Amino acid sequence: KVVMKKADIITALFLLVTGLVMIFVIIPAQTYPGEEYGVPPATVPTTAMAIVTLMAGILLVQRLLDQRKNIKDTPSPINRLQWLHITGLTTLLFFGLAAIRFLHFIPGGILILAVLMFITGQRKVLTIILVSVPIPFLIYAALWYGLRIPLP
């Protein structure tokens, strides 16, 4: 049986470590300094991860203090099957990122959307095509032509 305090502590630790790795390793490695005018490219992702990391730290401290006070624990509202479902979909999204990396944005995006639609219950091929094909094209057009953000 998963209890909330234990789940919160594990989640907070995971988010704390992940956030620190993102802030100090991944974001600096994946962005350029931005020597031209304006806000440097690393500002938004670093700020977002700093907020997530700070909130994870607050959650961790709060839950550790709750344990010292011997406050009664409550069962998790999410059961093991739901955690398994979340983990499976997250794994699929990571495979989707690999598809984008190797197949490039548009074919990889189409593949991700089609697979996720199928897994979540959509069985009509026409609907899968009408949704999964134009969305990556629209996102690509908006990001490249509208914001000048290069995509793989």
129 pLDDT above the threshold of 90:
yes
Helix, strand, coil proportions of the chain in percent (round to 5)? Answer: 75, 0, 25
User: pLDDT, tens digit, for every residue of 37-87?
Assistant: 667 888 889 999 999 999 999 999 998 887 666 666 677 778 889 889 889
User: pLDDT, tens digit, for every residue of 86-109?
Assistant: 898 899 989 998 999 899 999 999
Give the predicted TM-score (pTM) of the model.
0.59
